[in-house]
Chains A and B, each alone.
Chain A
C-alpha cells in the first residue's frame, strides 16, 4: 500500500529559493511527486548559503538539507538561450512549476504564465510572493520576519509589557508554503476533470492574515478593539483565564480552557470562588492569573498534573527538545528519519506529518548537490 503514493507520476519543476516555495516542494515530494529543482549553475539556490547556527553539511546549510531532501537538481542559467530552451522542453512535460521571483522577473526571463501556458496548457503554474502582485509593497523583500511584523501578528505573542514578539520560527514561510501546496493540488484535482492547468498565487502577507482569521474576524466585529496580551504567562490575547503558562516549584504548567469553578474546587483555591460568572473569567483575567500564579508555585509540575489530569482538566507539562525527543510519546510516532548524502554523511531529520492508509511516509533521499541530476535529466527527457 505504501509503495504507491497519491502524487506518483506528477512532475514538479521548482524554480523557488529559500523556504516558502521549497517547503511546498518537499511536501509534494513526500506525497509522491518527482520534484526537480532548477538551480543556477555552481552556487545553486540562495537558500544553500542561509544557515541557522552557522551549520553546514557538504557545502550547503543544514536548513537547505532539511527542506530539499527527496528532490533532484538540474542546473541551468536561465539567461542563456540554450539552457532556457532545454528548460522549456522540460516545462512542456511537467505538471507543475513553482517560483518565488519578485513580480516582473519571470517576464524578463521569458517564463511568465502566458508564455508557459502556450508551451503546456495543462501545467499548474504557481508563484509565491511577499505581498501580492500589485500595490506599493510588491517590491519589498518577501521575508518571514518582515511579513510577521507587518501583519499585526507580533502583537499577539508575549506578555503585555513585552515588545511586539514575533513567533520564533519561520511561520510565514511555512504556512504560506502549505497554502501553496493546497492551491496547487486543488488545481490538479480540477485538471483531472477538465484537462486544463491553472495559475496559483499565494503571498506571505495573505498567509499571515489567514493565520489570524479568527482574531481578525473578532477585531472587525468588536469595534476594532486592539488585542491585549495578559500581563504574565500570556498564551492568547483573546482567551479567558486560566489560559496561559504558570511557573511551578520546579518547572512550568500550561492551562487551557477550564471552567474556573471546577478548577478552584479541584486545586482547593478558595480565593477563586468570587469569580462566579464566565464573563468575569475574561474581564478579571489579570487578577485571576495572578492568584493562580501564586498558587501553582507551591507544588511541582508533577504534583499538579497528578491532581489535574485525573479530573480531566486540560493542562500539560512544558517540555524542551531534550525531554520531548526522549519521551515515549514522541518515539512511538516514528517521526524522525535519517537521510544519507552521497559523501556518506547522514542528516537526522523529520518526516512528512501526513499518514496515508495508516502508514507514515519515509523518504531517505538526501538533498541534491547543485546540478547533480542535470545530465541524467537531459538524457531521460531528450533535452
Chain B
C-alpha cells in the first residue's frame, strides 16, 4: 500500500513549484485532481523547452503532471466555482500558487475554505511572502535566484553571476510545501485538525543557503569569493572542484593536498602541508592541480585515487551515465501512457518505500479529461 493512499488533493496550481509538489504527493499514492481553466489549462502546457512538443504539448508539462487527473473549471464562473468547492469539501489537501490577493478575490482563501472543510490542509506558495515591497513581484525561478544571492556561488571568480541551470527554486519550494503538508497530515491523523501551510520561493531559496548565510552573519559580512578556477563551492578549500583531464573531467571533493601530491605524482603539492593553507592558498593549489590533471586520463586518475579512498568521481553526461550499470540498477526511468495511447519516458519518484520503487504508468491528462467522470463520481 502506497503511503498516501486515499488522500485526495485538489490542485489549483500551475507552472512548476505547486505542480511539482502535487506530483510527489501523487507518486506517494495520493489522488491528485488538477483544476484547470478552460481552453488554455495550466499555462505550463504551452511552456516549451528546446521547442520540444510531446503529443502536442510541452515536454515539461508532460513530466510534471503525469499521474494526475484534469478537471476543467473556470473559477470566475459561479457554477464552475460551486463544483470545485464541492470537491474541496471532500479533499484532504488543497494546493494553490496564485499571487497574494488573487486567491481572496477568487473566494478560495483559507478562511473561506476552512468553513467548508475545517480539517483540510491548505497549502500555498508565493514568490516573496505576503507582505513587504516584493510581494507583487513575479515569482519566477531565475528572478528569485538573482535576488537571493544564489548566483554568486557557482562558476569561477571572473564570471559574472552564474545561475544554477535548472529551476532549483521551484523544486525546493515545492519540496518544502510537501514537507509542510505531510507534517500537517500527520497531525490531522491524530487530532482531526486542519492547517494552513505556506511557503514562499524566497524563503525556500534562503533556506537552501542556510550554511553560507550563517557564515556571512558570522564572519562579519565578508563578500562571497569563488575560486579563480575549478570552483565548486565558494566556501571550501582545495581541491574541491571539477578538473579537466586528457579525455574528460574529474571531480575532486575532499583530500589532503600532500597525499594527493603523492598519489598523483605531483611534487609541487607537497609544498602545502598545513591544512589551513588548503583554504587560504586554494587558488594556487587548484591551478597546480588543474595543470597536472590535464596530463592523464580520467580513468588513470580514478585508478590511483579510488583505491586510496580519495573522494573523487568521473564527471558524466546523461549519455554516459545512462549506460552505466550503477545507473541501470536504479530503474530510475519509467514509461507512462496517456489516455489516447501516447507513450513517453520520464523519471520516477526518488523515494523507495518498504523496499519498492514507486512508479505509475498514468501519463499526463488531456485538459478536462476527467471532468465528466469526477462530476458523476462526486454526484455533482
Q: Show the binding face of A for B, using Cβ within 8 Å.
A: 6-10, 27-28, 31-32, 52-55, 57, 62-63, 65-67, 131-132, 134-137, 140-141, 143-146, 148-159, 162-171, 174-176, 178-179, 181-183, 185-190, 192-194, 198-203, 205-207, 209-222, 224-226, 229, 233-240, 243, 245, 247, 252, 254-257, 278-279, 282-283, 312, 314-325, 328-333, 335-336, 347-350, 352-358
Would you give 5 A-B contacts (Cβ < 8 Å), ordered by A? Answer: A66-B214, A199-B355, A214-B64, A328-B133, A354-B177
Taking CB atoms, residues of chain A closer than 8 Å to B242 are 145, 149, 154, 163-166
Select which of B150, B190, B203, B232 is within 8 A of A333 by beta carbon: B203
User: Is B39's beta carbon under 8 Å from chain A?
Assistant: no
Chain B: CB-nearest residue to A57: B218
Once the chains bind, are A200 and B151 in contact (CB under 8 Å)?
no
Select which of A6, A175, A205, A240 is within 8 A of B175 by beta carbon: A175
User: Is B325's beta carbon under 8 Å from chain A?
Assistant: yes
| Bound Cα distance from A255 to B140, whole angstroms | 10
| Bound Cα distance from A218 to B52, whole angstroms | 7
In B87-131, the 8 Å CB interface with A consists of 128-129, 131
Once the chains bind, are B163 and A62 in contact (CB under 8 Å)?
no
Once the chains bind, are B198 and A358 in contact (CB under 8 Å)?
yes
Once the chains bind, are A166 and B330 in contact (CB under 8 Å)?
no
| Bound Cα distance from A239 to B211, whole angstroms | 30
Once the chains bind, are A185 and B186 in contact (CB under 8 Å)?
yes
Once the chains bind, are B232 and A145 in contact (CB under 8 Å)?
yes
Once the chains bind, are B154 and A52 in contact (CB under 8 Å)?
no
16 additional contacts (CB under 8 A) given A170-B211, A178-B175, A353-B204: A54-B237, A54-B276, A132-B330, A150-B313, A155-B317, A183-B353, A205-B330, A206-B350, A210-B349, A217-B345, A221-B59, A252-B160, A279-B51, A314-B143, A333-B129, A349-B214
Given A135-B330, A146-B253, A279-B51: A354 in contact with B59 (beta carbons within 8 A): no
Given A206-B330, A209-B347, A354-B176: A222 in contact with B251 (beta carbons within 8 A): no
Q: Which of B74-82, B220-228, B260-268, B367-375 contacts A (4 or more CB under 8 A)?
A: B220-228
Once the chains bind, are B148 and A319 in contact (CB under 8 Å)?
yes
Which of A131, A137, A212, A214 has the largest number of chain B CB atoms within 10 A? A214
Once the chains bind, are A236 and B197 in contact (CB under 8 Å)?
no
Taking CB atoms, residues of chain A closer than 8 Å to B240 are 145
User: Is B47's beta carbon under 8 Å from chain A?
Assistant: yes
- The total of chain B residues at the interface (CB under 8 A) is 151
Shortest CB-to-CB span from B289 to chain A, Å, is 13
| Bound Cα distance from A225 to B319, whole angstroms | 9
Once the chains bind, are A217 and B346 in contact (CB under 8 Å)?
yes
In B224-271, the 8 Å CB interface with A consists of 224, 226, 230-237, 240-244, 249, 251-254
Once the chains bind, are A168 and B154 in contact (CB under 8 Å)?
yes
Once the chains bind, are B187 and A213 in contact (CB under 8 Å)?
no
| Bound Cα distance from A182 to B26, whole angstroms | 12
Select which of B54, B150, B206 is within 8 A of A353 by beta carbon: B206
Chain B: CB-nearest residue to A52: B235
Shortest CB-to-CB span from B113 to chain A, Å, is 13
| Bound Cα distance from A35 to B235, whole angstroms | 28
Select which of B171, B200, B206, B230 is within 8 A of A163 by beta carbon: B230
Taking CB atoms, residues of chain A closer than 8 Å to B317 are 152, 155, 226
Once the chains bind, are A52 and B179 in contact (CB under 8 Å)?
no
| Bound Cα distance from A320 to B152, whole angstroms | 7
Once the chains bind, are B321 and A150 in contact (CB under 8 Å)?
yes
User: Is B32's beta carbon under 8 Å from chain A?
Assistant: no
